[in-house]
A and B are shown apart, each in its own frame.
Chain A
Amino acid sequence: MGKFWVIFVASISILLPFLCNSFSPETPTDRRVLVLLDDFAVKSSHSSYFNSLKLRGFDLDFKLADDPKIALQRYGQYLYDALILFCPSVERFGGSVDVAAIINFVDSGHDLIIAADVNASDVIREVATECGVDFDEDPSAMVIDHTGYAVSETEGDHTLIASDDFIKSDVIIGSKKIEAPVLFQGIGHSLNPVNSLVLKVLSASPSAYSANPLSKLSTPPSLTGSAISLVSVVQARNNARILITGSLSMFSNRFFRSGVQKSGSSTKYEKSGNEQFLTELSKWIFHERGHLKAVNVKHHKVVETDEPALYRINDELEYSVEIYEWSGTSWEPYVTDDVQVQFYMMSPYILKTLSNDKKGLYSASFKVPDVYGVFQFKVEYQKLGYTSLSLSKQIPVRPYRHNEYERFIPTAYPYYGAAFATMAGFFIFSFVHLYNK
């Protein structure tokens, strides 16, 4: 019996760090990351990127994509918080991993990074399509840009692209401006126009097109200009984040270290923007930035402090909520000026921007409309790159009670006067009538 106890304690103490470090709503940063590779050579050729993740505390587990032992979940529990697919040519995943398993992984709120490359396999394309991104169907097509290429002594076919058309969002690519262009070599993709969750983070220049550089172009290329996305991100409705790119080499040490000069520009940068761009982007993907939480939703009448069960029409009320952003290690106050509250019944009756105290407390006061019914306080906060906040709290609004209406209306004074005058007359008349002789 004692032996079992020892085993139990030992296994708990082994498991405990994992249990504590894993993803949770309170600490939304990922911890355990599965990296699937085509070849272990990628581990060393892309080691700068992996090291930057390791330094930030991620626990990377490298596996070959066709390793028969890989699994994303065991006994209904996910073994990883995030998945990195650096295996563009995998024809079939090993173990229990397949497209459906990866989609389920994302559907349960986990993050994903996909890097494809020329001749990306159907499996990788299928995963990307599920995420709202379509890679060029021509298997040997690459993104070519004859005016926005990176000047290189050894690469003459203009498939090495220097792109600096970033998304304008500090939360996704960091507040520090990326000075140097980002090197890209690989395949382009387009976004599904009806999918509103996928965003182009790095787009190709207007002169780019996607074609096979070795064969003549006889039909118009399917992807051209800035419609080509080089790097895209998806934030699903469950806040799972996905990064999709058509270039595995943009993560490589060689591109990280390489200098870059965009054609037609005389500035030569010592180091490409790849490291900064991809590191900052990975912070976003792994929820070190742009992850919000709202707590302490409160509302009360202006002079009171307790939350009432219902309001009367025309009451003055105050609504407040605290919003924090996860910084990777702690919850920091989130400061912005575009959080709005709605007082909602079928449609918003009131929509008001909340003012904040720079410490994360947002508040607004307003007068309850003179319509009674069951209302909701709604905060639907959606901002580019941030997780969405959706708060709603139901609250009934009642009309005036019979004795809450106005009494002694001046307009009615003549009526009151007439009634009382009659009464007084009657009183006097009763004397006169009875006792007059």
Chain B
Amino acid sequence: SPHSSSLRPLQDIRNTVGNIPMEWYQDFPHIGYNLDGKKIYKPIRNKDELDMFLEKMENPEYWRTVQDKMTGADIKLTDEQVELVHRLQRGQFGDVHFNPYEPAVDFFTHEVMIHPVTNRPADKRSFIPSLIEKEKVSKLVHAIKMGWIKPRKPKDDTPTYYDLWAHEDPNSILGRHKMHVPAPKMKLPGHEESYNPPPEYLLSEEEKLAWEQQEPAERKLNFVPQQYRCLRAVPAYPRFIHERFERCLDLYLCPRQRKMRVNVDPEDLIPKLPKPQDLQPFPTTQALIYRGHSSLVRCLSVSPSGQWLVSGSDDGTVRFWEVCTARCMKTLPVGGVVKSVAWNPNPTVCLVAVGVEQSVLLVNPCLGDKLLYGATDQLLESYVAPEEERVQPVQWVTATAEQHGKGVRLLVQHSKAVKQVTWHGKGDYFASVVSDNSNMQVLIHQTSKRWSQNPFRKSKGLVQCVLFHPIRPYFFVATQRYVRVYNLLKQELTKKLMTNCKWVSSMAIHPGGDNIICGSYDSKLAWFDLDLSTRPYQLLRHHKKALRSVAFHKRYPLFASASDDGTVIVCHGMVYNDLLQNPLLVPVKVLKGHTPTLDLGVLAVLFHPTQPWVFSSGADGTVRLYT
């Protein structure tokens, strides 16, 4: 064409590489091969950006300069070529002379012409009726006659409504409607949803921030309350369709369940208990504080007469107090942590057992009636050693003169540290618990004969505490989770009580002997009725922290528990003689006074033998009396 000839320079450097992507030659100095097979080299282009820019600015023909891809040469477009480009851009035909809107000339006209288009005579078959068509028509006619083909019903898209419930039968409820759970209705809007709510319902900045940070499912409101000053200003709610859709999803996807909402008056849930006033006497107020110990007071014991109190502390002393005056009568340094003290329950004997480190000291405090404590000394001295030496698990040692002066009469030396000492009701026997893992944990000693024995052949776990039955020859051994009851006469296990606690800390027995309470480190108190069952009759969870000690009163129906939360809870625990009536347990007083130190609160609790008073000793180094 004329254009191409004018495009081509005079020298014919036709590229023979064909219609290929030219970037294949990007990295080569040549751009293809001419007809002779020689390389065509790319024109040298050493213009940088600045040169390009200058050329763009200076060359008036720059806009019509294009690069030939095949040769890499710059070509200036002629006016005709530019015109062609413009036309193509406008979507017109490239050829200027082509007219796309020429008048259309119909090949056939709609007018009936007098002459036929062709000169050919008409076929015969165009004059006679078609047999095939006749067959088809007759088939249709037959089908219509037989009623196989029906005329189309007129279509009516509009639904027709009628009285659907004209004959409604309320009894015709289907079986499935028994299990039918109707969908709950949508929640009705509150004041905060108003377009002009009272100002208190609008969210403050912080609340708004909190709302935005919440998960959409957690939000209490699914919108931010807003105030518009007039109805005109209210915009469309962007989540309207969403909410409808969510409702639809809830209706067909959400599992439904009938939930009975408890509609209880909370006051009705509180059990009706007898009033504490009616259950008096019980300790109510703090009366005395016994100060003197410099470290935590671990153990307490009171004399059977109720006149003296003995306390053992971590500061290595045992102190004797007069109960009514809070006066420290005597201080006995023992040189070790006092784990346990126990006053002999026999009123004719004045003797205190003190568990210190590896030994149990039998101390005559020399308090009260001189005749009484003199008699005790005589009793101890009247011991005559048997002829034949018996093998004993412990050593009985008579106190040295120095110790004798302080009041110590006998030493029972164990192989391991002593945890607990407890007397039998008669006051001759006492039991000691040793922190050991063997069968030597529990030992029973007889003071008058200075004779000890090991009742168990096998260890059944870590023994926490032991207890003598006040009347019958039973012996209670509390391990971590169980309390075992042994018959001492028959030498057999009679019962095993499940405490339902993780770790029993202490145990006390009702003076009647049929009920036991166990305190545990998991802040539970279990009350056992021995006649009833081996499981607790009641588990009381009054304390917030570990229970350290529990105690029964000898005369009044009271028991107390001391805990690490610094409180002593006194409960009324009435046991009826009638075996059919269950014990009545009523908490009557929460006594507070001790200040918890080192995560320890009250360590020991004890009732006065005759009065409705309770002693407690705590980690703050004091002993307190509540009356």
Partners in one complex: no
B-binding residues in A (CB < 8 A): none
